[in-house]
Amino acid sequence: MEHYATLPIITKFAIMPRITEIRKNHPFVAMPKVQKEYATAKFAYIDRKGQEWDFSRYEKANILSNGDTNTKTAKNTRKTKILYLVPATKSGVNYCEKASKGCIASCLFSAGRGAFVNVINARKNRSYLYNQFEDFFLQKITKELAKEATKLGKQGKVLAVRLNGTSDLPFVEMLYMKGLLSELPKNIVFYDYTKHKEKAGERKIGGFRYVVTFSRSEDNGKEALQVLDQGGIVAVVFRGQTLPKYWFGYKVVDGDERDDLMLDLNPRKGNGIVIGLRAKGQAKGEVRGFVIDCDSLSDCRVL
């Protein structure tokens, strides 16, 4: 398929079952009729527990966050927009289908500003908004991206977009399938981290560059090596302040430098690149194997 030029594996048919599964599990889908009728406004709903959620503020308020609200994306060389939802099953819906126990325990979701109750609630609200009003949600983020990219385009600048700040969903693919990518100016580049091996790599989608780094966990080390062999990028979390020079013979670069680094690495087939990250916050004490304790700092070979 023309739109998936580099790695042709992800197709409309591979994406649809995942979206269907997400819909099937969302907390509003089995809402009793009486509660559905109790909806009090265009964007308000009562959930199974009887709690009312009013999303109407998102008709005006932004869904996407600015990159400078996060320490690492603030270091990006490109202006960045990022989407934060609640990861894994924390909203009652699984947004990270392939998350491991170790990565859930170490997830940066609660790091930095993410520890504040108002930030957590905002992320929950966005998550429920997406579950219940998917079309509105996708159209709204498209509008926000178009506005920012148009502004930057006048200055000859590019907008970097990470739609899975704390989730692992096929957002870019959904925007493409719904025809929304065609509404965006072309000075946008998308990037993401994923645990879906078939999604890792670089491709063109709807005319946009999309770079996806595979995220290594305690249960997918072999897949990580396959991605590297195919010339992909893999993120690996190491304990301690000093990163190894190589991981299984693949060059390690300092991923803490900035979040959009993957856009500038351009690895080649057989010569993948490792984005090395230092364990931070609660990940420092992680013991399931998500964080690697290296056997050697010259060529670490702990899978």
Give me the phi and psi of 252, to 5 degrees please. -105, 125
Picking from 145, 192, 152, the residue whose alpha carbon sits closest to that of residue 173 is 192
Residue 103 within binding range of ligand SF4, rule CB under 6 A:
yes
Among 38-46, 72-80, 160-168, 198-206, the segment contacting ligand SF4 (CB under 6 A): 160-168
Cβ proximity to ligand SF4, 107 vs 160, nearer residue = 107
Q: What proportions of the chain, in percent to the nearest 5, are helix, strand and coil?
A: 40, 20, 40
Residue 87 within binding range of ligand SF4, rule CB under 6 A:
yes
Residue 273 within binding range of ligand SF4, rule CB under 6 A:
no
Cβ proximity to ligand SF4, 10 vs 181, nearer residue = 10
- Among 9, 15, 16, 104, the residue binding ligand SF4 under the rule CB under 6 A is 104
Among 147-155, 161-169, 182-190, 226-234, the segment contacting ligand SF4 (CB under 6 A): 161-169
Cβ proximity to ligand SF4, 61 vs 287, nearer residue = 287
Cβ proximity to ligand SF4, 87 vs 206, nearer residue = 87
Kindly state the tokens that stand for 68: 């400078």
Q: How far apart are CA 71 and CA 112, in angstroms?
A: 8
Contacts 24+ apart (CB under 8 A), 63-66: 63/126, 63/129, 63/137, 63/140, 63/141, 63/144, 64/141, 64/144, 64/145, 65/165
Residue 96 within binding range of ligand SF4, rule CB under 6 A:
yes
- Among 55, 127, 168, 286, the residue binding ligand SF4 under the rule CB under 6 A is 168
Q: Give the shortest CB-266-to-ligand SF4 separation in angstroms.
A: 24
Among 43-51, 137-145, 166-174, 235-243, the segment contacting ligand SF4 (CB under 6 A): 166-174
Instruction: Map the footprint of ligand SF4 across residues 195-234, applying CB under 6 A.
Output: 195
Residue 303 within binding range of ligand SF4, rule CB under 6 A:
no
Cβ proximity to ligand SF4, 99 vs 263, nearer residue = 99
- Cβ proximity of 276 and 243 under 8 Å: yes
Cβ proximity to ligand SF4, 153 vs 281, nearer residue = 281
Residue 130 within binding range of ligand SF4, rule CB under 6 A:
no
Q: How far apart are CA 88 and CA 292, in angstroms?
A: 22
Q: How far apart are CA 251 and CA 273, in angstroms?
A: 5
Picking from 142, 155, 176, the residue whose alpha carbon sits closest to that of residue 62 is 142
Kindly state the tokens that stand for 139: 């159209």
- Cβ proximity of 216 and 197 under 8 Å: no
Residue 88 within binding range of ligand SF4, rule CB under 6 A:
yes
108: left (phi over 0), alpha (psi -120 to 50) or beta: alpha
Kindly state the tokens that stand for 189: 């580049």
Site string for ligand SF4, 8-47 (x = CB under 6 A): ----------------------------------------
- Which residues have a Cβ under 8 Å from the Cβ of 115 and sit 6 or more positions away? none
Q: Give the shortest CB-108-to-ligand SF4 separation in angstroms.
A: 7
Residue ranges that bind ligand SF4, judged by CB under 6 A: 87-88, 96, 99, 103-104, 107, 109, 166-168, 195
